[in-house]
């Protein structure tokens, strides 16, 4: 076996290179776009062929190197199906096994920090992303996070692993590099010895600032670290406004809004907000919409959880639309707010 823990100082991201050094096949977990040269050099130095890149989630603090590494090495890019991301080669789910050489990695869905957060178990170690950090855990106050789900993922899934299993997190800001399930069960300040209610109260009152890169990193990572069509993300991002489901409903009472639902036709057919039109993200053509509506038309983007719509909004904004509004939390938030959804018999877009 071959194992390297790598560190990106700008984002404090920990990337992991693991390999079967008899078959010379490798996997990178959470590679960082700014560190592609380092990673390619390391692979080359050790005669390893990169088979797969794995994401623990859609990151808000750095752009993934998945797409760049695919171009450099032909590695398959993978992310959880629950991340609602596009442009990856394979969408993985709980219990999937990723095989490379004679080695296997087990994907364990550990939602909470984000809905698609996934931990990866390999031999005697688990790569926990931002689900379980050394002495802490990822925040749950954006990207559709859920403290309830995070409690379940840590207490009921990760803490059920053997206490000797080594914990390799996605970040550490204080120079720590490895822990174990046993240590975290005893010393993790957010969850060790806490009741579920105490944990939920802690998570509710963290009061953290937004990550500085969130508006660039999230849309880029939803596309596997690839630029949006037209090089949009390369050219830098531009602000997108957002509204809550309730704010949107209030606005819809008083005016006719152009609400674009970027989910798949199947999702749209099953349920949707009345008067929305379906333009699936993979068919979103900002130039065609500009020709149809003009760049001064206000466009509202919605999806199921608010991740795909954020990406769509960014594309439209970059294409020159002056008023693009993203619906926070998507149709899930709409339903949670007790607002009406239309179900079945789709309306033609
Ligand atoms: Fe994160």
Q: Which residues contact 256 (CB under 8 A, 6 or more apart)?
A: 275
Half-sphere exposure of 54 (CA within 13 A, CB side): 33
Buried b (16+ CB within 10 A) or exposed e, 141-150: ebbbbbbebb
CATH number of 2-204: 3.60.15.10
Domain map of the chain by residue range? 2-204, 238-336
Q: Which residues contact 83 (CB under 8 A, 6 or more apart)?
A: 55, 57, 58, 91, 114, 115, 116, 222, 307
Partners of residue 79 on adjacent β-strands: 91
Say how far apart CA 215 and CA 192 lie, in whole Å: 33
CATH number of 238-336: 3.40.250.10
Partners of residue 54 on adjacent β-strands: 29, 78
Residues of the chain with pLDDT under 50: 228-236, 349
Q: What is the pLDDT of residues 130-145, one digit of tens each?
A: 999 999 999 998 888 9
Ligand 1 mean position, distance from CA 246 (Å): 27
Ligand 1 mean position, distance from CA 130 (Å): 5
Say how far apart CA 156 and CA 131 lie, in whole Å: 13
Residue with tokens 């032909």: 74
Say how far apart CA 78 and CA 98 lie, in whole Å: 10
Ligand 1 mean position, distance from CA 341 (Å): 31
Say how far apart CA 182 and CA 187 lie, in whole Å: 9
Ligand 1 mean position, distance from CA 142 (Å): 10
Ligand 1 mean position, distance from CA 133 (Å): 11
Ligand 1 mean position, distance from CA 346 (Å): 35
User: What is the structure's pLDDT at 232?
Assistant: 35
Ligand 1 mean position, distance from CA 249 (Å): 30
List, as ranges, residues with CB under 5 A of the ion ligand 1.
130
Say how far apart CA 53 and CA 91 lie, in whole Å: 12
What do you get for the CA distance between the two ends of the chain, in Å? Answer: 53
User: What is the structure's pLDDT at 319?
Assistant: 86
Say how far apart CA 59 and CA 11 lie, in whole Å: 11
2-204 and 238-336 agree in CATH topology: no
Ligand 1 mean position, distance from CA 274 (Å): 33
């Amino acid at each position: 076996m071959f194992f390297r823990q790598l560190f990106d100082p700008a984002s404090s991201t920990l990337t992991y290179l693991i390999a079967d050094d008899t078959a010379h096949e490798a996997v990178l977990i959470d590679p960082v776009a700014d560190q592609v040269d380092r990673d390619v050099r390391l692979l080359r130095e050790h005669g390893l062929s990169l088979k797969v890149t794995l994401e623990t989630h859609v990151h808000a603090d750095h752009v993934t190197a998945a797409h760049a590494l695919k171009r450099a090495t032909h590695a398959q890019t993978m992310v959880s199906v629950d991340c609602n991301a596009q442009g990856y080669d394979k969408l993985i789910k709980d219990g999937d096994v990723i095989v490379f050489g004679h080695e296997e990695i087990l994907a364990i869905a550990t939602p909470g920090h984000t809905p698609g957060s996934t931990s990866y178990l390999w031999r005697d170690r688990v790569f926990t992303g931002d689900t379980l950090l050394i002495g802490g855990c990822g925040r749950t106050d954006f990207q559709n996070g859920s403290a309830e789900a995070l409690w379940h993922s840590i207490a009921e899934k990760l803490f059920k692993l053997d206490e000797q299993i080594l914990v390799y997190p996605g970040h550490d800001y204080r120079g720590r590099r490895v822990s174990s399930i046993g240590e975290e069960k005893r010393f993790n300040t957010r969850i060790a010895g806490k009741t579920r209610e105490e944990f939920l109260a802690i998570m509710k009152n963290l009061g953290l600032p937004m990550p500085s890169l969130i508006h660039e990193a999230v849309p880029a990572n939803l596309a596997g670290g690839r630029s949006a069509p037209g090089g949009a993300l390369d050219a830098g991002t531009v602000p997108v406004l957002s509204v809550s489901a309730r704010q949107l409903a209030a606005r819809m009472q008083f005016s006719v809004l152009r609400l674009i639902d970027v989910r798949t036709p199947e999702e749209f057919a099953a349920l949707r907000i009345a008067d929305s039109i379906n333009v699936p993200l993979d068919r979103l053509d900002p130039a065609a919409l500009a020709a149809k509506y003009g760049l001064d038309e206000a466009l509202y983007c919605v999806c199921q959880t608010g991740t795909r719509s954020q990406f769509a909004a960014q594309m439209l904004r970059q294409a020159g639309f002056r008023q693009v509004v993203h619906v926070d939390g998507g149709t899930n938030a709409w339903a949670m707010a007790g607002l009406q959804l239309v179900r079945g018999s789709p309306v033609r877009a």
